[in-house]
Amino acid sequence: MTRTTTAAPPLTVSTRILDDPGAVLRHTLRDSPLAFVRNGDGIVGIGEALRFTFRGPERMREASAVWRTIVQDAEVDDPVQLRGTGLVAFGAFTFADDSAETSVLVVPRVVIGRRRGKAWLTAIDTTDSPEPLAFTRTSVPVPHVGPHVSVPLAPGRIDEVAYAEKVADAVRRITAGDAEKVVLARDLVGRLPRGADQRALLLDLAEAYPQCVTFAVDGLVGATPETLARTDGTRLSARVLAGSAARGSDAASDRAAAEALAASAKDVEEHGFAIQSLLAALRPIASDLRADPEPFRLQLPNLWHLATDVQATLPVGTTSLDVADALHPTAAVAGTPTDVAVRLVAELEGADRGRYAGPVGWLGANGDGEWMLALRSAQITPDGTVRAWAGAGIVAGSDPAREVAETRLKFRPITDALA
């Protein structure tokens, strides 16, 4: 674990009701946004009060321990008492234990949020802040956002031909009994124009995919539909997505696509592996597990997904990040059995996913928060490089051409937003 300074200074945190700030995504920073927004509700961060980075298999456990220390030492004044008020941190964690990229936990200096028709502003000061934040405002101006960001994306480390070959190899390995399911991904790469306003990209994603979470943490941006862990006190909820089909071009073909997905043995099998994996990971840490008896068809603008919602009860004191650590990686992003699938992903892809398919989200001082899987996403590096990833679950009945087509569909949130 590393940090920008050797020890975390105590924090002073104040939350107050704010007049309507407009679209909260407009209020984060243009070149280093922090955001977690769904259907217009959520939180954005401005600046950094504290920043921690982590590596290795203990990265989420270390982050959870650091967070408990920060909370213990903080002085919090939060009369608003809504999800996302008071002291919060944003986080993004790598998919693999041995990733060369870092995982990050960021406490912003300012948070602007909206929920249940109320808006708020939180100021977070450190004792070593050069300019402590004065809390006198009840309204904030709506910032101007730069023009639409256009970035041509080209094949990255794994092009379509190589991906199809890797899928065929995975099917052979599965048929031979090495695994039951492997999730393989490929990448596209491009470069942001100089001075691009990343908030424009976030606003485009939020408009096109309002029911997904539009997120931004340390250059990782996207709009994901899959909830890894959402906690509210001792209540836990998660949503598993596995199995997908393209939307139809009209009402009749769209209905036929949804019905074909529900009847697809390949997709139902893939979904079954994902839900079994999640439930198996939850049993040691949760009680009263409840899952939909059958998957439902989740409608997104470009895809139908098979989806299952899961509910459970957690022990007192368990944070949302603790749960994310226990669940990651699920079969939805790795495969089955998990340990074998993770090794096959590394072997067959031959590339570092970084934070793609890892947990991304936020948590508050009481441990409540929400962690999504970083899907339909791209990592933007300080030099402007954009690397997007999309994957598909491979089982014995997978066809390489169909899996290539599925990844094209899953790239669309990013490619359309950057078109």
Please list the active-site residues: 181, 226
Q: Which amino acid type is present at position 166?
A: K
End-to-end CA distance of the chain: 38
Cα 34 to Cα 221: distance, rounded to the nearest angstrom: 9
The C-alpha atoms of residue 37 and residue 114 are separated, in whole angstroms, by 9
Rounded Cα distance, 69 and 367, in Å: 12
- Three-class SS state of 103: strand
Sign of the alpha-carbon torsion through 191, 208, 360, 391: negative
Question: 123 near 146, Cβ under 8 Å?
Answer: no
d(CA 154, CA 413): 15
Q: What is the β-pairing status of strands 118-126 and 110-115? A: antiparallel
Q: What is the dihedral angle through the alpha carbons of 313, 314, 317, 318, rounded to the nearest 10 degrees?
A: -140
User: Rounded CA gap, 345 and 186, in Å?
Assistant: 11
Number of helical H runs and strand E runs in the chain: 8, 24
Q: How far is CA 33 from CA 18, 29, 46, in A?
A: 20, 5, 7
Name the DSSP class of 57: T
At residue 228, the 3 state secondary structure works out as: strand
